[in-house]
Structure 1
Amino acid sequence: MDTTTRTRSPIRTLVRYGYAPFLFLGLNGVGVALAAAGAPKYLLLIVLAVAIAASFAAERALPYDSAWNGAHPDTVRDRVHVVVNEGLTLLGVAAIPLLAAIVPAPGLWPDDWPFVCQVAAAVLVADLGITVTHLLSHKIDPLWRFHAVHHSITRFYGFNGLMKHPLHQTIETTVAVTPLILIGLPVDVAAALALAVAIQLLLQHSNVDYRVGPAKYVLALNEGHRFHHLKWAGIGDVNFGLFTLIWDHLFHTYSYDPHRRFTSEDLGMAAKPDYPVGYLDQLAYPFTTAGNCSSPDTTAS
């Protein structure tokens, strides 16, 4: 079977145009419905497991770069990052009732809105907080040294999104969610938001050659996010948004070239080509003298 036939096969066509809507609208929709009904939180973990399985299946059916599939030295490490960082997210959701008891909300949360609108509002507020923190993490050296763990990747696939230093994830999450908690974020909305973040990270770093049409100029998906991971100094300082590119357009940090193709040679950090690969090494490296790497804006290309 030649390349043209394979490209036009029904399964590949379904993945190309159906994968993103299935995760972004379908599974998030299931998550919102479950959270709105007050369903047990473990059901949301099952939805996430379905999203992960769908992501890995799609990466094999329609890869952007087939070389990014299969066994790699980072495979075990990335799974540890996923378990640790998702565990931190679950702890954060579980801690919301305690935080609410310590810091009573002023009753500003719009709990009379339809549940889906409450989740959408939480997503937009969190997106702003994450985008600003992400941008500052490229400008401020103490933040960059922890964020650099994420930029050490040299391939794109689903689990890259949670390949973060847990301290940086904690900072990013705190900035994103604190304003919501202060105005009374309900636990069920927080759970739906946490699922949406995990699904978005899968979509944003997925090794799937999917299409979303003009929405790629508004939604922060893998086509645009690859530009963020360009390894040369200053060039990757674009497309910081997690859910949307709205703030990037406003901050003038948006960039996209539909003709650009990426390989592993384009990704990573030019200034740190030998960045540690092991999980424990990556946890410790930002605290070392060698880990005091300058942010992209101050590193020569």
Structure 2
Amino acid sequence: MNQRLRSLLPASSCLFGLLSLLGVMCFHFPRELTSAEFRSAYSVDFARDLLLFGLVASFVLGTLAVLLDRGRRAALVGVGAASVAVLLGGSDVAVEPFAPTRYSLGVDWFVLALFFSAVVFIPLERHLGVRQIDVARTGWRTDLTYFFVSHVLVQFILIAVTVLTAPVARAVSLPGVQAFVAGLPFWVQFLAAAFVADLAQAVLHRAYHRVSALWRFHAVHHSSRDMDWLAGSRVHLVETVLTRSIVLLPLLVLGFSVPAVNAYVILVGLQAVVAHANLGIRFGWLEYLVVLPRYHHWHHARHIDYWDRNYAIHFPVVDMLMGSFKLPRDGSWPEEYGVLKLETVPQGIVAQTLMPFRGDREYVDHVA
């Protein structure tokens, strides 16, 4: 067993063990801990099978890590969490009928999203990464906390977005346009929705960079010093609500169908992870058609020439139309990531959440 694989054993055991424990808690308290919008996307049997896999994986990987004397503490945390999950019923916990509620946490969404993201992207980045980055890199706890908050609070974020967009969507009446859009084939609606949303997002994204009050929120996202699949989760909660509202609003006003909007939501979730991922694959001419890792990595470059470039998240043509397209033709990648003035962004999610409300200042404990 090579060194790199050995180093993943304790971290994997810890991950599977803690996620299994959270999964068991979701079975015990489905009304409070699972998202009503997300429950319909998976079956109870699927959740049970995934939970059983997580428990077995945690025990096996943790045992191997202890025997090989690799990360004993992390391995024991994983095995301990899995043991508690088993004592609480494991994958056999009965789910009693429960009354739906509008207010609940999306712990199930967090567990499933983190499980599949980690299983897919950690091995890919290990073998195809532009540079070798440890899973436990500097700032990973902060980014994982942002990942947790954004997923667990998904229902409250949706409520906030609805409150902001619904009154405007009702006030703007475009029956002719809405009828035309609704009559388009699904795939045309999907592509059109992605383009319209990308254009709205790019305009707002430019404002984030050019308006100092907005930049203080967006600087949190740009403060990651390493780029990988988890780095894109570092987004201030205010920016999350504002961006989703601005992007969703034109889709509602123009009358795109619910299936088309749902398909777009899936696309933006996947592409947001891929665009930040540490994947050094050369895509050639595709980089000029679709936003891929190298394109978005240059947007995050700690380089003055790219601070105001590459705002699109789906289609580079949006930046071409806005005059903000810039991509080296030699296939090179940025040497460094982060905000230009590192001392202006503090470390940790609590300090970063408060940062935009404290005005322009410098911090001793900053992201450098």
- TM-score with structure 1 setting the length: 0.73
Rg comparison, structure with higher value? 2
1:20 is matched with: none
Greater shift, 102-111 or 244-253, is seen at 102-111
Instruction: Letter of the 1:78 partner, please give it.
Output: D
Structure 2 counterpart of 1:55: 121
**Cα pair distance change 1:111/1:40, threshold 3 Å:** farther
**Alignment CA distance shift 1:212-1:47 (3 Å):** farther
Q: 1:261 aligns with which of 324, 327, 333?
A: 333
1:279 corresponding residue in structure 2:
349
Confirm or deny that 1:131 pairs with 2:198. no
2: CA distance, partners of 1:288 / 1:166: 16
**Structure 2, gaps ≥5 residues long:** 1-38, 44-107, 364-368
Query: Which digits, 9 at most, give the CA deviation of each residue in 1:231-267, with x for residues without a partner?
Result: 244532111101111111112211111243334xx21
**Distance in 2, Cα, partners of 1:138 & 1:182:** 26
Identity across matched positions, percent: 23
Matched, 1:74 2:145: no
Q: CA RMSD in A?
A: 3.1
The 5-angstrom pairing of residues 158-173 of structure 1 reads 158-173=229-244
Partner of 1:146: 217
Residue in structure 2 matched with residue 84 of structure 1 by the alignment: 149
Give CA-to-partner distance per residue, 1:54-110, whole Å, 9 cap, x none.
2222111211110x2321231122122123334565556577699389828655053
What's the counterpart of residue 244 of structure 1? Answer: 315
Q: Shift of the alpha carbon at 1:41?
A: 3.5
Is 2:137 the partner of 1:65? Answer: no
d(CA) in 1 for partners of 2:188 and 2:277?
27
- Give distance in 2, aligned partners of 1:113 and 1:239: 30
Find the counterpart in structure 1 of residue 271 from structure 2: 200
Structure 1 residue identity aligned to 2:349: Y
> Secondary structure of 1:262's partner?
coil
Q: Which has the higher helix share?
A: 2
Aligned position for 1:103: 170
Letter in 2 for 1:267: Y
Write the deviation string for residues 199-225 of structure 1: whole angstroms up to 9, x where unpaired: 011111000112322010121111111
Structure 1 residue 121 corresponds to structure 2 residue 180 = no
Give the unaligned 5+ runs of structure 1.
1-38, 294-301
**How far apart, CA to CA, are the structure 2 residues paired with 1:122 and 1:50?**
26
Change (3 A) 1:159 1:106: same
